[in-house]
Amino acid sequence: MSQLRWGMPTLIELPDLQANVHLCRRLGLDFIELNMNSPLFLPQHLPATELREVSRREGVGFTLHLPEQLDLGAFQPEVRQGHVRCVTAAVQWAGEAGIDKLSMHLNGGVYFTLPDRRVWMYEQYRGQFLSALTESVDCIVSAPQAAGTRLLIENAGDFHLGFLCEAVEVLLERFRARVGLTYDVGHDAGAGFCDRPVMERHTGDIAHMHLHDFDGRSSHQALFTGTVDIPAALELARRLAVGVVLETKTAEALESSVAALRTRGLF
């Protein structure tokens, strides 16, 4: 059974990278997932050489979460191309910084609310959406600067949408060597496990895990405070030899999660 590598997200209550690194080391974790939704962790504010030096000096690794507003399947070429440029730049920066895993959400786009139902534009024009998305990902992973990095599609409790399920299938089929999956167990639980069938069909493509609990109202809770089967998730992570981000949103919840894992002999 492989030894797990444990990670933490960047926490909004901490003022800078060094504070996150300090907490990571104090808790005995292995890596930090930088979140590009924060201006602190954008390439223009955090040179790749600096990040490499921090990793070497502190013995802490890094993964990356791309901005959540990315929409690589947008119908408008100007919007889509801007997002492609954003990801391509992030991929180049990540490679230079020694980061090989970049998690991203698939954007479900907008929907029109009719009297009796929602109509999702990407469902209504599924072919155009899939074509645009595939073209965008092809541009990103084919760029020379993408060598050594892998885009990982993260479930966000939205794989009940048929067009997103098909998008996962299409991208894995075409770009499997460069595209994989991040399994967010807490998101799955919060959505009634609607994402699980996709993950079970593509277990071999799971390269990363986000783990947090769901208390019946909200996700990102401390471990062992909700309904998620934490031991089963960790057994899967060990079997697949993937890193596990303890994706709570506060330092207090992160510390209690690590303590609970240690108490149960799971850390």
6-263, superfamily in CATH? Divalent-metal-dependent TIM barrel enzymes (3.20.20.150)
pLDDT in tens, the chain (267 residues): 458 999 999 999 999 999 999 999 999 999 999 999 999 999 999 999 999 999 999 999 999 999 999 999 999 999 999 999 999 999 999 999 999 999 999 999 999 999 999 999 999 999 999 999 999 999 999 988 888 999 999 999 999 999 999 999 999 999 999 999 999 999 999 999 999 999 999 999 999 999 999 999 999 999 999 999 999 999 999 999 999 999 999 999 999 999 999 999 999
3-state helix, strand, coil in the chain (%, to 5): 45, 20, 35
The number of beta carbons lying within 10 Å of the beta carbon of residue 192 is 10
- What is residue 238's predicted lDDT score, i.e. its pLDDT? 97
Q: What is the pLDDT of residue 1?
A: 43
Predicted TM-score of the model (pTM): 0.96
Output DSSP code: residue 22. Answer: H
User: For residue 58, how far is the Cα from the chain centroid?
Assistant: 23
243/4 Cα distance (integer angstroms): 6
Residue with tokens 């595209």: 179
- Decide: helix, strand or coil at residue 238: helix
The burial of 32, by beta-carbon neighbours within 10 Å (0-12 exposed, 13-18 middle, 19 or more buried), is given as buried
